[in-house]
Chain A
Amino acid sequence: MDILSGMLNGFQVALTAQNLMMCVVGVVLGTVIGVLPGLGPPATIAMLLPLTMKLDPTGAMIMLAGIYYGAKYGGSTTSILLNVPGESSSVVTCIDGYQMARKGRAGAALGMAAISSFIAGTFGVVALMLVAPPLAKMSLAFSAPEYFALMVLGLAMVVLLSGESLVKALLAMLVGLWIASMGTDLFSATSRFTFDRVELLGGIDFIIVAIGVFAVGEVLGSLEPSKPADMLPVPKGFRNLLPTWEDMKKCRFAFVNGSLVGFLIGILPGAGSTIASFMSYGIEKAVSKHPEEFGHGAIEGVAAPEGANNAETGGALVPLLTLGIPGSGTTAILLAALVLWGFKPGPLFIQDSPQLFWGLVASMYIGNVLLLILNLPLVAVFAQLLKLPAYMMYPLILGVSIVGVYTSSNSMFQLGLLCGFGLLGYLMRKLDYPTAPLVLGLVLGDSMERALRQSLMMSAGDISILFRPIPSVLLGIAALLLAVPLFKRFNSVRVQVVDREA
């Protein structure tokens, strides 16, 4: 199936009444959680995933993806009006967005954030559509050693960029690998780390860990005392939300910059939308004729990062769908969702599940248009959500977490595990252990062990199979990445990037 016929097929799938409704629900939910500080896409997707098990997988995936990219649109609203980012990817928007709002240009900042998000988000989807099929074909040549090396590289990048302490990030990943190896070993039927509990023979469901670490852990952390911020008003009237023609001309390069940087950074595992937005902001400032305006309300300082964090979505879906390698906590949950529905993300995914792949891509075009419509005239309505008292949110999140885990397993034992992982998630945040490596270790652990053991079976235990050209290059890069902290100069750059993310 070529790209054109794939897209036609995709629009037929995405434009059915049911899938269109799922797309609307996803992007609205995404915008809502993007606006609400504290509740992020990983927690929301993890909580809702068990509830989507009865739905058609294509529709459910369209909705979950809508939450993922919709949150990035919504995240800018709080950055501009409150100086508090709704999502970590909108941190950099605070710098110039809030200054614009203080100068009475909140409308132009909100409007530019939505327009730039739309342009770059659409670019990201176009690039995903063009890059994913050839990459999938290329990766058909991969076998177990190449996959093992690719997963090691993916984990190394996530570990490198996940926390200030590389040791803690590695330890978090190793705990993820440990949880992944609980249950019955598929090669030898040996029970591992089951503590004589029948419930653990099948391993620990990824959903329980994700909901515990992200949702319950997040609520526990939010219950610590914090000072509420003052919100600037949203300008009334649609016209006041539109940037001027002069603003649009000023942001021409920012649109291109945000789109390209966002997509390219998105493809790299671990880098993520926060780093993409900071990089595009840095580039924009560096090439600007008026760099002194940055930090004081430069509209390009809103357009570039907002564009980058939306283009990143398309990039992040490339390795997820074509190689089965997620690059962040959220894409790891999306991978788990695909696997739970019986799909196999990887080189054959587009070929085996064209309805889902092209339907998802087409829905992202539609979703971006919907988000532009939602975020321009309705931004004042979404801003009202910030007045929602926190005491209503906490029980709601905990309740959905309980129901999510229970409906996926009908077991009280699994709810007990949820308590444990909730505490683990909170303690990890408190003690500065990054959560993304744990989740990725858990998602990739099983496949990684399988690929390693298959490789060594192929070679009758000879480790030199991992030094074939492609695996040796990938493992070499992974080793270099993990050696970065040994070099002061490179490590200071890494720490700066991580600090910005934090």
Chain B
Amino acid sequence: MGPRSRSGDLWSGLALAGLGAYILFAARRWDYMTEEGPGAGFFPMWYGGVMLVLSLVLVAGAVVKPGRHAQVAWKDVSRALVAWVAFVACIALMPVFGFVISFALLAAFIVKVMCAEKLRTAILVAVIGSAGFYALFEWALDLSLPKGMLF
């Protein structure tokens, strides 16, 4: 993988250029100017245009001088991405298992897998954490936690 393909500036610049183009495209469907004054498309048209130009400047910089820009260390990123997937899975499981069980699973995963602690510690943190959240929010503060089909 060459430095250009690893450049965070290049990829983020391209993504933002896509977003800028989308904003411009979407804003075209709305009024730019009406009899009363600027319409719904006025403001997005301007910031979308500026976003497109600036992101292309970023891309051009990354292409012309690839070494000078942010390089992503994918090894470090992979750990964070695994944690993020676990977080997403926890939220996806909530309609079925509810907050208490889904959060316990997430806590156990982070402690055991991400932080490489003992299984006993992971279970302890998961159980105490879930029970603590339930006691604090459901009982003490009278705030509702996400409920699932099972809990």
Contact = CB atoms under 8 A, between A and B. Distances in A.
A394 B133 contact: no
A422 B106 CA distance: 16
Nearest to A453: B38
A187 interface: yes
A132 interface: no
Interface in B86-123: 87-88, 90-91, 94-95, 99, 103, 106-107, 110-111, 114-115, 117, 121
A174 B47 contact: yes
Given A394-B115, A449-B43, 18 more contacts: A54-B141, A165-B58, A167-B61, A171-B16, A177-B43, A178-B47, A181-B43, A193-B26, A219-B83, A391-B121, A391-B125, A395-B111, A402-B99, A406-B99, A407-B137, A419-B88, A430-B77, A431-B8
Contacts of B70: 431-432
Contacts, number: 171
B37 A426 contact: no
Contacts of B137: 403, 407
Interface residues of B, number: 63
Contacts of B42: 453
Nearest to B48: A178
Nearest to B114: A223
Interface string A401-415: 011001100101001
A431 B12 contact: yes
B84 A220 contact: yes
A406 B145 contact: yes
A167 B37 contact: no
19 contacts: A174-B47, A175-B16, A181-B43, A188-B31, A190-B31, A192-B40, A220-B80, A224-B76, A395-B107, A399-B129, A399-B133, A406-B99, A412-B94, A416-B91, A430-B8, A431-B8, A453-B42, A457-B37, A461-B38
Contact of A192 (B38, B44, B107, B114): B44
A407 B77 CA distance: 31
Q: Which 9 A-B pairs have the closest CB atoms?
A: A457-B37, A395-B107, A391-B115, A190-B40, A431-B8, A185-B40, A220-B80, A174-B51, A449-B43
Contacts of A399: 103, 106-107, 129, 133
Nearest to A181: B44
A61 interface: no
> Helix, strand, loop or mixed for chain B's interface?
helix
Nearest to B71: A431
Nearest to B77: A430
Contact of A171 (B30, B33, B55): B55
A390 interface: yes
Interface in A156-193: 165, 167-168, 170-171, 174-175, 177-178, 181, 185, 187-188, 190, 192-193
